Amino acid sequence: MHRLRFSYGRAAMAAYLFALLFILSTLVPASSRLNLPELTKEQRTAIKLLRETVSQIEENYVSLPNMNKVFGAGLTGIQKSIGKKHLEVIRMDSGRYTLRAGGEEMVVRFGAGGSEGLAAMERAYRFALSKVGSERSSGSDLKVMYDSLGAIFNSLDAFSAFLPPDVYREMQVETTGRYGGLGITITTRDKKITIVSPIEDTPAFEVGLQPGDVIALVNGESTKGWSLSKAVKKMRVPPGTAVRLGITRQAWISPKEFVVVRAVVQIRSVKSRIMAEDIGYVRLTAFHERTSDELGTALRRFRNSGVRAIVLDLRNNPGGLLRQSVRVAERFLPERSMVVFTRGRHRSQTMYFRTHGHGAWFDKPIIVLVNKGSASASEIVAGALKDLDRGLLIGRKTFGKGSVQTIIPLSGGAGTRITTAKYYTPLGVEIHGIGIQPDIEVGPAPKPKKENRAKSSTKSKSPQIPKRIDDPSFGDDDEVLQLAIKTLKKTKSSVVEVLRLTARQIQPHIARHAKGNSHAKVPKAQNRNP
């Protein structure tokens, strides 16, 4: 009986081992049973870049990502780069994918990520290139990896991106204020390529593009289903080359074409003038390396001219450098004031930014103008001044871009722009996806609903172009600016509650004036061919 039980035990053990080996064999990547060629130098460079990039995501991304999803996006990127007719990617259960190419197939399993997922991704890349060979679409093996990494970052969020060497070099230049391109900041909203804001003194601004415009076509090609990186790539043409953009706007029935010529321009981020004798007007168009210094120059001129109050215009400012936003806010705040703080996945990504010393204008009346084109660094400044009761906000709700991106260099001249944290106003208010509500809401009203658009769109008109800051008539038909100036004229107080009460008393008079002025809410159209 004992021997019988033992033989049964041995049989059971053998069956168990056989089953285990069978299961393990299904988990062993098919590539181990395929004869893959040795890596080329270019492929080794690509895989090194993949490892660096994945490491940055796993270590620094604002929240722990689903690496199975991340790697799956990478496979999709490889497929799009090579061509679906040459490479088939089939998603299976439990995070497994089947790749078919060149009459063969391979099963990869990414698991929870880590070294297992990375190794599977490398094998998939090698398999795809080796089996497709010369039949695939044009492009180097390194470009295939670039496309894969672009898809990976697109799967994270709308603001993270892989930066090929040419894009990375250009971004390094842009932060200095020397801008090469069309002059727009874009994002994805509701799966549509959307303009956050055009930057003043750039080609996009000159032709009349506006915040919230949707780029439906690029050179006649539909942008439906495009990633942000693909949109940027399609619009990145040599300087002096024109790009045709099909733009949809809320009040339009069909897209209108704008022709924008790529150029290299030097952005002056601060524009200022003295209005109404002792009221200074200063407009910030972006936050780059020189913004705070440019603002300091304008404020010194104001002080020497006897200016007692300031209008700070952040409308259509898409943002820029975080530390510049802190330095700008610092000029209007008392010593040791909290400007903004950030929180990420790691303790090291929680940072607090405070002022150092009293700002030169910490005790003077200030009104801040914002709209839906005010984003990122603009929202940091506006949020700080609002939370600390240092300024009155007038306009429309801001864009709601409250995440922090860190630029990280990689080997081969490439880089990443990765979301590492979210920022919060001094009172702990999260801005991302929400925006900042102004104290006094005024400005261009929401566009009419669809049923009312047909009538307004039947007439053939040139796209309306906002007035330039250097236009002699600027301000005459700007309801928001006029309310700010009249409020500051009416009171010399820097107390926000007093400013708010005064603005509310004046607002009905401004509104009545606006109704009698045909250009009060809608800037006068200019006959300019896009």
Do 278 and 398 lie in one domain? The reply is yes
Do 490 and 366 lie in one domain? The reply is yes
Which residue carries 């722990």 as its tokens?
A: 64
Do 149 and 198 lie in one domain? The reply is no
Last residue of a domain, one of 250, 266, 282: 266
Do 147 and 91 lie in one domain? The reply is yes
Q: Assign residue 221 the CATH number of its domain.
A: 2.30.42.10
Asked about 387 being catalytic, the answer comes back as yes
Last residue of a domain, one of 266, 291, 311: 266
Separation CA 288–CA 290 (nearest Å): 6
- Residue in 323, 322, 324, 328 with CA at minimum distance from that of residue 299: 328
Residue 123, CB-side half-sphere exposure with 13 Å CA sphere = 23
Do 57 and 109 lie in one domain? The reply is yes
User: Is 50 within the bounds of a domain?
Assistant: yes
User: Is 297 within the bounds of a domain?
Assistant: yes
Do 225 and 278 lie in one domain? The reply is no
Separation CA 80–CA 505 (nearest Å): 59
Separation CA 470–CA 443 (nearest Å): 20
Separation CA 478–CA 487 (nearest Å): 14
What does each of the 530 residues of the chain score in pLDDT, given as a tens digit?
Answer: 444 343 445 555 555 555 544 444 444 444 444 567 788 899 999 999 999 999 999 999 999 899 999 999 999 999 999 988 889 999 887 778 999 988 889 999 987 778 889 999 999 999 999 877 655 555 689 999 999 999 999 999 988 999 999 888 877 766 665 556 788 888 888 888 999 888 877 889 889 999 889 999 999 999 998 887 788 888 877 778 899 999 999 888 889 999 999 887 667 789 999 987 799 999 999 998 899 999 999 999 999 999 999 999 999 999 988 999 999 999 999 999 999 999 998 888 889 999 987 888 989 999 999 999 999 999 999 999 999 999 999 999 999 999 988 899 999 999 999 999 999 999 999 999 899 999 999 987 555 444 333 333 333 332 332 333 333 333 446 899 999 999 999 999 999 999 999 999 999 888 666 555 433 333 332 322 22
User: Is 524 within the bounds of a domain?
Assistant: no
Task: Tell me which residue range forms the domain holding 70.
Answer: 22-156
Catalytic residue among 80, 271, 364, 401: 401
Asked about 376 being catalytic, the answer comes back as yes
Do 310 and 258 lie in one domain? The reply is no
pLDDT, tens digit, 9 for 90 and up, residues 15-52:
555 554 444 444 444 444 456 778 889 999 999 999 99
pLDDT, tens digit, 9 for 90 and up, residues 204-241:
988 999 988 999 999 999 999 888 778 888 887 777 88
10 Å Cβ neighbour count for 369? Answer: 27
Q: Assign residue 477 the CATH number of its domain.
A: 3.90.226.10
Catalytic residue among 229, 376, 378, 403: 376
User: Is 1 within the bounds of a domain?
Assistant: no
Do 346 and 472 lie in one domain? The reply is yes
Sort 119 into a burial class: Cβ within 10 Å, 0-12 / 13-18 / 19+. Answer: middle
Do 362 and 447 lie in one domain? The reply is yes
Domain count, the chain: 3
User: Is 365 within the bounds of a domain?
Assistant: yes
User: Is 410 within the bounds of a domain?
Assistant: no
Let me know the angle formed at the C-alpha of 25 by 149 and 66, rounded to the nearest 5 degrees.
Answer: 30
Do 208 and 285 lie in one domain? The reply is no
Residue 117 corresponds to which tokens in the numbers above? 């997922």
Asked about 462 being catalytic, the answer comes back as no
Grouping H, G, I as helix, E, B as strand and the rest as coil, residue 386 is helix
| Type and span of the H or E element at 333 | none
Do 256 and 310 lie in one domain? The reply is no
Phi, psi angles (nearest 5°) of residue 357: 80, 170
Q: Are 128 and 143 in contact (CB under 8 A)?
A: no
10 Å Cβ neighbour count for 387? Answer: 19
Catalytic residue among 157, 387, 439, 477: 387
Do 43 and 141 lie in one domain? The reply is yes
User: Is 229 within the bounds of a domain?
Assistant: yes
User: Is 427 within the bounds of a domain?
Assistant: no
